[in-house]
Amino acid sequence: MPSSQQSAESDTQSLTASVTDYPIEHGRRYHKYHEGLYPFPNDEQELDRLDMQHHLWKMVNNNRLYLAPLKDPKQILDIGTGTGIWPIELASVFPDATITGTDLSPIQPNEVPHNVHFIVEDATEPQWLWDDNHFDYVHMANMIGSLPKLKEVMRKVYKVLRPGGWFEWHEIDMRIRCDDGSIPPHDPDSDTLGEYAPNDWVDLSERAAHKNEHPRKFLIAHELADLMSEVGFVDVEDRVKKVPLNEWPEDPRQRNLGAWNERNWLDGLAAWSYKPFLTLGWSKPEIEVFLVSVRKCISDRKYHGYNNFHVVMGRKPLPGDSRASSESRDSR
């Protein structure tokens, strides 16, 4: 382990009030470390939803935690680990690997597999804790509305990955799509609310993310593959699967995924809306009234909506690989 990482872990083992004195706003608990960077809660209600969401994405991926072609990785990094459920479950798959999860909040369990470690860290910091070429595999997931500059984070992933190592990002595209015309047409540039409230919610969330004190991107899944290639990753692949918004499909598996996705949306809407919508000048009562319409549409089986779920992966080139981009070489 690099000496810089040993020092960082020592510093974070005894957590101070600057990390754990969580602020309470709008009846929800939020992170304290670098307060305000992450606009969503970290309380028990949200942790339960995150674990449920983890199970949903596993079902979408046919019960797989990762899709990259890994071969006996020894050092694994999970950025924005949340509850830590992904590293904990991966520990038995790769018992000889050291798996490190990072997050702004120390909300992970204390009792974990021997090869799992958690560190409080901000992924947007200019310098990460590890030396170059340290990890065999880096994983990210569920980062919508969390990062200001995706390419900067990817460049740092590129640096800490060893040549030949894999980077994999799992992300939902919150835009609601429809293939049969059952959802009314939508104009994202309109200043008036439309007939289908979830589309308006997505537009407002995107505007709020850019207007935030710490501007960031909300709709990111569709551009991850292109950005990976631009940074210098090779063999980039974007696997996209449709996840129904509720139980409208006739196919049993899709209907089950729809039930889980509907629950995830309904349980997450308040957490995803309070802070962002307040930056748009909404009051809490106005937000609650609007969310009633959003929930009603999400659960209405006459609307055949779905989200695209993306698994994007890329490999750091080996020395001499002719496909390495000039941009990646310049950023090293």
- pLDDT value at residue 114: 96
CATH number, domain at 168? 3.40.50.150
- pLDDT value at residue 325: 42
- pLDDT value at residue 211: 83
How far apart are alpha carbons 121 and 124 in whole angstroms?
A: 9
- pLDDT value at residue 190: 72
Q: Tens digit of pLDDT per residue, the chain (332 long)?
A: 444 444 444 444 445 556 766 767 777 777 675 655 667 777 888 899 999 999 999 999 999 999 999 999 999 999 999 999 999 999 999 999 999 999 888 878 899 999 999 998 888 888 898 999 999 999 999 999 888 899 999 999 999 999 999 999 999 999 999 999 999 988 777 776 778 999 999 999 999 988 866 778 899 999 999 999 999 999 999 999 999 999 999 999 999 999 999 999 999 999 899 888 988 999 999 999 999 999 999 999 999 999 999 999 999 999 988 654 434 433 33
The CA R_g of the chain, rounded to the nearest whole Å, is 20
- pLDDT value at residue 126: 85
Q: Is 207 exposed, middle or buried (0-12, 13-18, 19+ CB in 10 A)?
A: middle
Domain count, the chain: 1
- pLDDT value at residue 324: 47
How far apart are alpha carbons 192 and 186 in whole angstroms?
A: 11
Q: Which residues contact 269 (CB under 8 A, 6 or more apart)?
A: 201, 291, 294, 295
Residue-range definition of the domain harbouring residue 102: 3-331
DSSP H helices, the chain, are 3-13, 17-20, 44-60, 85-90, 150-160, 197-211, 224-231, 252-278, 284-299, 326-331
- pLDDT value at residue 35: 56
Name the nearest CA neighbour of 213 among 140, 148, 272.
Answer: 148
- pLDDT value at residue 160: 97
How far apart are alpha carbons 147 and 38 in whole angstroms?
A: 8
